[in-house]
Amino acid sequence: MIFKQLIELVRKEMLVLVRDRQTILLLFLMPVALIFFMSLALEGVWADKLVGRKISMVVDNQSRSYQANLLAGKIKAHALIVPVERPAGADVDRIFAEGTAQAVVTIPPGFEEGDRPVEIRFDPVMDASYRIAARSLITSLAVEVVMGVDNLEAVVSGLVVERSGPNRELPTPLQQTVPAYAIFAMFFIAIPMSVGFLREKKDGTLQRLFTYPVSANLVTLGKITPYFLINVVQFVLMMLVGIFVMSRFIAPAFHAGAHPWHMLPVTLAVAAATTGFGVLVAATAKTPEQSSTLAATGAILMGVFGGIMVPHAVMPPVMKKLAMISPMFWAHQAYLDIFLRDAAFGIILPRLIILTLFAIICFYVAGRKVRWI
């Protein structure tokens, strides 16, 4: 009997939600748009930290001697350099202003005798790390030419060996944005949820529900279950979009880690947290307008602090500590543990506990603060 009543309550709530097609459509289209455009924005900046990028460079060989030609050829042929022809009549400032190249290398007459050094000019906005890398590269190639060494890097390879481990901190653009903005959009479920609660309380729908032999707890469960299910479906669809659609446009492709099934308990915990947040907003607000403002402001602030808007890995130390106050931080880090660190369930369990406690606290405070009838 109770189960049948719950099914009918859920069915009634789903029918109400389906009528509000614009809101439901927005809940699914908003994260798709954010994932696509934010991933594109991060692809050129954030991905540089993962895979590096080539440096566009103009090589101005003014000497034309044998050694100068050899150096120019080595620079242009290097895997990290994209050689660019100097536009006719263009000075260095114009090259940088028009974005033709990021660096200009000038090999002056007398270079081979050591009378004049090779000159490097960088675009002022070029990242300092790339300046250092390019300067080191040009220096080593110049030493090769002057000393007559075929491959200086091979000669010194026995002196310096890299033992870096695999990346465990920096997500790819899609690994960052797909779970981040899926979580962000899931918290926005608080808007239609709280608005619906308050509207039904105002127009007397809730009071009519309680004329039937049904408990208040069952009515509450029947009203929040559809939103919980929508959030789960919402996240699953965002993952499918990230894996099968966004990976065609944005590199590198999305990698879900060695234990992708661990996303299931995380998603359920996040859905519970977002549903609890919605109930809390509905209990706190007095009008639908207040609930919309509270839900949107709360979600944005949690996103700012939680590493959604700005990746947590690049935050300053103070912000990294403050991020822990946001449930979005714990949710996002749980997904990154799965994607980047192949985390076992025991590793993500503390994050699930925190998300569950957040949901319980929200439901408890909401239950103590307001009576729905």
Q: Is 205 found in the same domain as 257?
A: yes
Q: Is 62 found in the same domain as 105?
A: yes
Q: Is 39 found in the same domain as 83?
A: no
Q: Is 203 found in the same domain as 127?
A: no
Q: Do residues 108 and 118 make contact, with C-beta atoms less than 8 angstroms apart?
A: yes
Q: Is 58 found in the same domain as 41?
A: no
Helix, strand or coil, per DSSP, at residue 83: strand
Instruction: Give the closest residue to 49 by CA, choosing from 248, 311, 328, 254.
Output: 311
Q: Do residues 75 and 57 make contact, with C-beta atoms less than 8 angstroms apart?
A: yes
Q: Is 234 found in the same domain as 100?
A: no
Distance CA 306, CA 189 (A): 18
Task: Answer yes or no: is 29 within a domain.
Answer: yes
pLDDT at position 33 over 80: yes
pTM here? 0.75
Q: Is 219 found in the same domain as 331?
A: yes
Q: Is 205 found in the same domain as 293?
A: yes
| Crossing angle for the helix pair 216-240 and 263-284, to the nearest 10 degrees | 130
Task: Answer yes or no: is 167 within a domain.
Answer: no
Structural domain for 126, as ranges: 53-152
Tokens of 78: 């290097």
pLDDT at position 127 over 90: no
Instruction: For 135-151, write each residue's pLDDT tens digit.
Output: 888 888 888 887 776 66
**pLDDT at residue 49, rounded to an integer:** 59
Listed in sequence order, the residues at least 6 apart from 271 whose beta carbon sits closer than 8 Å to its beta carbon are 186, 228, 231, 232, 235
Q: Is 75 found in the same domain as 213?
A: no
Instruction: For 235-283, write each residue's pLDDT tens digit.
Output: 999 988 888 888 888 777 788 888 889 999 999 999 999 999 998 998 8
Q: Residue 106 is part of a domain; what is its CATH number?
A: 3.40.190.10
CA 109 to chain centre: 49
Single out the residue in 96, 122, 152 at which a domain terminates. 152
Q: Is 234 found in the same domain as 95?
A: no
Q: Is 82 found in the same domain as 200?
A: no
Q: Do residues 295 and 281 make contact, with C-beta atoms less than 8 angstroms apart?
A: yes
CA 347 to chain centre: 21
Q: Do residues 17 and 25 make contact, with C-beta atoms less than 8 angstroms apart?
A: no
Instruction: For 189-223, write each residue's pLDDT tens digit.
Output: 888 888 887 877 777 666 676 666 667 677 778 88
Helix, strand or coil, per DSSP, at residue 84: coil
Q: Is 239 found in the same domain as 347?
A: yes
Q: Do residues 300 and 211 make contact, with C-beta atoms less than 8 angstroms apart?
A: no
Single out the residue in 119, 152, 185 at which a domain terminates. 152
pLDDT at position 372 over 60: no
Radius of gyration of the chain (CA): 29
Provide the Cα torsion 135, 137, 139, 144; round to 10°: -170
